[in-house]
Every structure is written in C-alpha cells, then in structure tokens.
C-alpha cells in the first residue's frame, strides 16, 4: 500500500497563509526530463546587437514562444540573457539553434554550454 505523506500542521498553515498573500504562485508536478525524452540540456548565453526597448520586447516575446526554453533570464552586464533549454538530443538542439535561436530579434552572439550533470535543481527557497 503506498504511503501518503502529509505535511506537519505548521507547514499546512504556512502554505495556507502563503496562498492568501500571493507568496505561493502555484503548484506543479516535477517531471523527470529523461522520462519524457528531454534529457539533453544546454545553457545558452545571448549577447544582443541592439538593446532598444522594441528589440528587447520582440526578443523576449520570441523566446517565450519557444517551448524548449524552460528558463530565460535578463542579466546585467554581458551576456545580456541566459536561457536554459531542453531537447531530446544534440541533433534536436542543433535544429532548434539553426531554426529558432539564430533568428531571434536583435541577436549578436549566442554561446551554448552543454550541461554535464545537474547538482542543485528545483530547490525550495531558503527559509
């Protein structure tokens, strides 16, 4: 018989209070990427050619329309953006880079780093 894990009463109260204040933005299942065929991960650093508001908004809209982009961060300094991308394998990543990433608005340079191993991932916020 499967064991059901129930949070301690104080944790339930904290969660209830957080939901009422807007501190909790939602709940989700954490899916194993390997189990769904998305075991290849790359971190992509983007440097922009131009940084006017219109170009940045177009770039950000285009990035959010790519489902393989799990995370996108705008940074201070160089590079301008960091993207976390998953695909099924290297060939799929190469197609994504050629077909979608290389044509992003305002793109000057893109540097990809392949993830060898995840060390800390999907951690809760510190108390």
Task: Note the pLDDT of residue 10.
Answer: 57
Q: Distance between CA atoms of 115 and 91, rounded to whole angstroms?
A: 15
Task: Note the pLDDT of residue 18.
Answer: 62
Torsional sign, CA 47, 50, 54, 55: negative
Task: Note the pLDDT of residue 21.
Answer: 76
Task: Note the pLDDT of residue 15.
Answer: 62
pLDDT along the chain (127 residues), means of 10: 52 63 82 91 97 96 98 96 98 98 97 93 82
Element (H, E) at 40: strand 40-48
pTM for this model (two decimals): 0.80
């Amino acid at each position: 018989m499967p064991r059901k894990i129930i949070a301690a009463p104080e944790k339930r109260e904290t969660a209830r209070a957080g939901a009422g204040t807007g501190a909790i933005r939602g709940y989700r299942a954490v899916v194993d990427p390997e189990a769904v065929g998305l075991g290849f991960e790359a971190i992509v650093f983007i440097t922009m050619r131009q940084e006017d508001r219109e170009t940045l908004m177009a770039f950000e809209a285009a990035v959010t329309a790519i489902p393989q982009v799990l995370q996108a961060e705008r940074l201070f300094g160089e590079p301008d953006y960091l993207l976390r991308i998953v695909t099924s394998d290297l060939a799929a990543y190469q197609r994504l880079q050629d077909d979608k990433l290389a044509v992003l608005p305002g793109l000057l340079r893109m540097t990809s780093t392949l993830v060898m191993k995840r060390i800390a991932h999907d951690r809760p916020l510190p108390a």
